[in-house]
Amino acid sequence: MSSLTANTPARRPFIKSRALRRFLSHKLALIGLIMVLTLTAACFIGPFLLPYDELHIDLMARFAPPGTGGHIFGTDPLGRDIAARLFHAGQISMAVGFAVMIIATTIGSVVGVVSGYYGGKVAAVLMRIVDAFLSFPSVFLLLALAAFIQPGPVMIALIISATSWMEVARIVEAEVKSLRNQDFVQAAHMLGLSNRWIMFRELLPNAIGPIIVAATLTVARAILLEAYISFLGYGIQPPLPSWGNMLNGAQQYLQSAPWLAIIPGLAITIAVTGFNFIGDGLRDAFDSRAQGE
Amino acid sequence: MLRYILSRLGQSLILLLIVSFIGFAVLTLAPGGPLSQFALSPGMTQEQIDKIAAQMGLDRPVVVQYFDWMSNLVVGDWGTSYRDGQSVLHVIGSHLFATLLLMGTATVISVSLGSTIGIFSALKRGSAFDYATTVFAMVALSIPTFWFGLIAIYFFSLNLGWLPAGNMYTVGDGSVLDYASHLIMPAAVLALVDVAIWSRYMRTSTLNVINQDFVRTAKSKGLPRRRVVLKHIVGNSLVPMITLAGLQLPMVLGGALVTETVFTWPGMGRLFLDSLGYSDYPVVMGLLMASAILVLVGNLAADLIVALIDPRIRLD
């Protein structure tokens, strides 16, 4: 390498590789990554390998136990193949999870960086709103919203985002507040850079580690919340399957067809555990203080 | 002290105002709105709907409606249920006990179990026990409460027949033992997530305390290990947990809602779902407010208790 590249602040690629190295040496994080990748692959490739599609109704094969008649996970009360529905539902649940991650992280970052940068009254008002949203049990607020709004996957993603952005806002606000008076920000002011440039090009990239961790945990939380409200009947509406609404009618068949309840719940648990493991690994990878490096 | 209490009280009231406005705006501005239930009845004309709206004051600007509703709320008039015409405060009051009983029991379970696990994993940091509880905690955090409830019912009620699958008591019985047998499963299910959270926080908190000077002093004075652990370490690491208990309230309440549904527990969560099903706006709004009040009072109480017992916190 030339001396030029050695002298330019090669800070980011270096930290990135160190963080990646830490992440890969984190056993739980790797297990989480494998869980999530396996589940994703199953959900997107699985449907092509199955003999039935998720809407095929076969009333002669109602409540077929797992493993019978080519139904690896059995059938539901309408004789639909649970494996096909599970994989299709997985695509929807995970899509909702990622959509929420993007929307909630964006809202949270903007609120956090604005209140952290300006401080004073702006911060007081914005952070009180954050506190107010945190005082609602989010499931209550979500249900109230979902019950009165036409629920489709997009709408569900939006309202889950509306109750999931506060964590990121708090993290970013704290981070930006501590960076606000540092030399590089003073220098940016001196150069006459606009407030917007300083906030989004100078300050926000410095908080990227905690933001990525929070974003990963948001996916886990969103999948869980979608399952909660769909289970209660206010989320994704049938015939579109989601992991939550597959559990919706399962309680009444608990005695005769327990697989209706067990299988989708396991899928949710595996997905959420996977994302939580990854988030934990990322936290350790980005947190240089914990490692003493 | 009085000044501290008053200022915290003032902050909580302001927060409650913001919370109520958000809740009110969300429900009023949602498409459909409070009149959607009337619009569904056959033979209803737009003219009649407008009439009902005018009668109920729903044609006024949102801000005016909010102030009207708020000023009634303050004097204890929370409106009447659309469903059966009872006062909202009465309806909520009659479901409060069941929810508080469930949440209280779950909190006792999660605090005692979670703290014990947390202290042991901190004292034996890096051991197999510590590692196992870390993994357990993260998996427990990832299990949907309602699904765990279904699995518990499948095993303990349907297969083993040890415990009843739902409700708060058997009609015609209602003894303490009867209540307890109905309570134990939903409370344990609700506690699961919190056991995980408590054990993690308690572990961190204990590790912080272990490295402090007064612990070293106590050890070098020659105090027996049991006494150092029980009195100096546990006592001090429990203080931040009181604040945590307050912050956890919204989650416990949200979890209670789902748990109550699975176990047909007659509390506020089920009332909320039933009211949503009937588009019973006044009750839904009242429950949102009641839950926010519960959360804010819980946080306030936690802060005051911490301020009382921890001399390191300066009140001025």
Q: For residue A292, what pLDDT band results from cuts at 50, 70 and 90?
A: very low
More confidently predicted of A13 and B307: B307
CA of A43 vs chain B CAs: smallest distance (Å): 19
Write out the two tokens for B164.
Answer: 């009843």
Q: What pLDDT is stored for residue A2 in this prediction?
A: 46
Calculate the dihedral angle through the C-alpha atoms of A30, A36, A40, A46, rounding to the nearest 10 degrees. 90
What is the average per-residue pLDDT within A253-273? 85
Across the interface, do B288 and A269 touch by the CB < 8 Å criterion?
Answer: no
In A, which residues are within 8 Å of B143 by CB distance?
A: 265, 269, 272
What is the average per-residue pLDDT within B297-316? 75
- Decide if pLDDT at B291 tops 70: yes
Q: What pLDDT is stored for residue A290 in this prediction?
A: 47
Q: Are A266 and B139 in contact (CB under 8 A)?
A: no
Q: Which of B231, B11, B146, B191 is nearest to A231 (CA)?
A: B146
- Decide if pLDDT at A234 tops 60: yes
Residues linked to residue A71 through DSSP beta bridges, in sequence order: A68
A30 touches chain B (CB under 8 A): no
pLDDT tens for A274-285 read 999 998 888 887
Q: What pLDDT is stored for residue A274 in this prediction?
A: 92
- Decide if pLDDT at B140 tops 50: yes
What is the average per-residue pLDDT within B251-258? 84
Q: For residue A4, what pLDDT band results from cuts at 50, 70 and 90?
A: very low
Across the interface, do B273 and A133 touch by the CB < 8 Å criterion?
Answer: no
CA of B110 vs chain A CAs: smallest distance (Å): 19
B31, B147, B288: residue with CB nearest A265: B147
CB atoms under 10 Å from CB of A30, counted, come to: 15
- Decide if pLDDT at B102 tops 80: yes
pLDDT tens for B151-210 read 888 888 777 777 777 777 776 676 777 777 778 888 888 888 889 888 888 888 888 888
Q: For residue A104, what pLDDT band results from cuts at 50, 70 and 90?
A: very high
pLDDT tens for A58-84 read 666 676 677 676 667 777 777 677 778
More confidently predicted of B116 and B303: B116
A220 touches chain B (CB under 8 A): yes
Residues linked to residue A68 through DSSP beta bridges, in sequence order: A71
Residues linked to residue A75 through DSSP beta bridges, in sequence order: A81
In B, which residues are within 8 Å of A258 by CB distance?
A: 154
More confidently predicted of A280 and A292: A280
Q: What pLDDT is stored for residue B307 in this prediction?
A: 80
| DSSP-derived secondary structure letter, B222 | T
- Decide if pLDDT at B22 tops 60: yes
- Decide if pLDDT at B287 tops 50: yes
What is the average per-residue pLDDT within A76-95? 82
Residues linked to residue B152 through DSSP beta bridges, in sequence order: none
More confidently predicted of B311 and B254: B254
pLDDT tens for B196-207 read 888 888 888 888
Name the percent of chain B lying above pLDDT 90: 1
| ipTM of this predicted structure | 0.80
Q: What pLDDT is stored for residue B253 in this prediction?
A: 83
Q: What is the mean pLDDT of chain A?
A: 81
Residues linked to residue A81 through DSSP beta bridges, in sequence order: A75
In B, which residues are within 8 Å of A272 by CB distance?
A: 141-144
In B, which residues are within 8 Å of A247 by CB distance?
A: 146-147, 150
Across the interface, do A269 and B144 touch by the CB < 8 Å criterion?
Answer: yes
Q: For residue A293, what pLDDT band results from cuts at 50, 70 and 90?
A: very low
More confidently predicted of A57 and A119: A119
pLDDT tens for A168-218 read 998 898 888 888 888 888 888 888 888 888 888 888 888 888 888 889 989
Q: Which of B209, B201, B199, B204 is nearest to B230 (CA)?
A: B209
How far apart are alpha carbons B16 and B24 in whole angstroms? Answer: 12
